[in-house]
Amino acid sequence: MTALVFIALALAGGLGAIARFLLDGAMGRRFQTAFPWATFTINVSGSLALGLLTAMAAGNVVPREWALILGTGFLGGYTTFSTNSYETLRLLGEKRYAASFANAFGTLAASVGAAALGFWLGGLA
């Protein structure tokens, strides 16, 4: 990896984190519910994008360096498994067992499904 790719990867990670922060804030203001819809949306959309990007990189549609910068950098900064884990524990602490289960396993199922859909769509490119 060149120094330029390394710097771009780091900057992309920061931009992904900023995008997550902005989307989380916008959704939090618009949809004020106890269920963490913003984190769910962020993780599922990031998984879709990563699946798409991965398939396009595998098909040589996207250069390897760009896949690294966008996938590991931007999408790595954008998605957030740790926040999903925290919110699952928060819901458990509030004795919202169904919501906790839905958050943990619903996010996992939807994210894997979105990644598979993205990979399939990327294979069409």
> Annotated binding site for Na(+), which residues?
76, 79
Alpha carbons within 13 angstroms on the beta-carbon side of residue 26 total 8
Judged by phi (left if over 0) then psi (alpha if -120 to 50, else beta), residue 79 lies in beta
d(CA 93, CA 100): 9
Answer whether 70's CB lies under 8 Å from 51's CB: no
Spatial neighbors of 117 by CB under 8 A, at least 6 apart, are 48, 51
Which residues contribute to the annotated binding site? 76, 79
